[in-house]
């Protein structure tokens, strides 16, 4: 995995495709959790994509305050930077990409990042795995107060939240896809969720898909789906087909 820095603040791991390509995938992580996704990066790089895994501002190696502003802006900052060029941190090698296609994949907390970023015309397609659609619908397993405490106690300085970060999430007025349904083109979205997910309820996802016209796969089981599903042959075929659909 290579490393780079976008907009001076956002540290990202990346891999070039194994064959020349101008198609880009940006992965957005859940919260909290280890951000490394080498398995995903290698899998999709072998399929012919540039793969980028940014750290949200104020988390892990990235600078700033976490949730000082919506994380989807970090995604847009990465997109802004690709055609301008970026430098690999160890070798100093300079890269520049003029993407012909930009795809976003996010899970759980990363779901709102990719869904909200889909409003940008440069984004072609988005896959959201068990995404948070509405922060006002409290999680059974991870209510916001518990999530805040666990993130602080279990991850320490890996997340450096802005003073009002968790209150903003709980308010439902910040980083919340359900509030932006009129701006979101559901044809860009493929949502995947399990009915027995206790961390993020599938019901807001189902409702959101109905309102926006997004493609939806509802699984009967699987709980809070892990990223491993994204490299399973069955789901990769579905994702690839969705990416290739005009």
Secondary structure (3-state) at 105:
strand
Contact 173, 132 (CB under 8 A): no
Tokens linked to 235: 């789901």
Tokens linked to 214: 């997004």
Secondary structure (3-state) at 150:
helix
Tokens linked to 192: 């995947």
CB-based contacts of 210, cutoff 8 Å, min separation 6: none
Q: How far apart are CA 244 and CA 233, in angstroms?
A: 16
CATH 1.10.10.10 fits 2-237, yes or no: no
- Residue 198: predicted pLDDT: 96
Q: Name the one residue in this structure whose structure tokens are 């790089």.
A: 45
What would the pLDDT profile of 154-202 be if each residue is shown by its tens digit? 999 999 999 999 999 999 999 999 999 999 999 999 999 999 999 999 9
Contact 11, 2 (CB under 8 A): no
- Residue 37: predicted pLDDT: 84
Mean pLDDT of 110-125: 98
What would the pLDDT profile of 17-74 be if each residue is shown by its tens digit? 999 999 999 999 999 988 778 999 999 999 999 999 999 999 999 999 999 999 999 9
CA dihedral in degrees (167, 29, 136, 196; nearest 10)? -140
Tokens linked to 62: 């990235």
Query: pTM of the predicted model, to two decimals?
Result: 0.96
What is the distance, to the nearest Å, from the Cα of residue 193 to the centroid of all Cα atoms in its chain? 15
């Amino acid at each position: 995995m290579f490393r780079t820095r976008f907009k001076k603040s956002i540290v990202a791991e990346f891999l070039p495709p194994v064959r020349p390509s101008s198609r880009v995938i940006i992965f957005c992580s859940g919260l909290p959790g280890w951000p490394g996704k080498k398995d995903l990066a290698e899998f999709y790089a072998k399929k012919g994509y540039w793969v980028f895994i940014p750290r949200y501002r104020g988390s892990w190696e990235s600078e700033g305050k976490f949730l000082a502003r919506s994380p989807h802006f970090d995604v847009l900052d990465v997109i802004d930077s690709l055609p301008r060029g970026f430098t690999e941190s160890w070798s100093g090698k300079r890269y520049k990409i003029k993407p012909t296609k930009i795809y976003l994949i996010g899970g759980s907390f990363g779901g709102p990042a990719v869904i909200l970023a889909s409003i940008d015309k440069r984004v072609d397609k988005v896959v959201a795995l068990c995404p948070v659609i509405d922060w006002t619908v409290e999680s059974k397993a991870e209510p916001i107060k518990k999530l805040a405490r666990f993130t602080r106690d279990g991850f320490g300085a890996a997340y450096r939240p802005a003073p009002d970060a968790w209150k903003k999430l709980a308010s439902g007025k910040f980083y919340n896809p359900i509030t932006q349904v009129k701006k979101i083109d559901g044809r860009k979205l493929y949502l995947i969720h399990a009915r027995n997910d206790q961390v993020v309820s599938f019901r807001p996802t189902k409702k959101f898909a109905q309102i926006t016209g997004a493609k939806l796969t509802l699984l009967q089981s699987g709980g809070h789906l892990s990223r491993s599903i994204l490299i399973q042959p069955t789901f990769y075929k579905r994702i690839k087909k969705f990416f290739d659909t005009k």
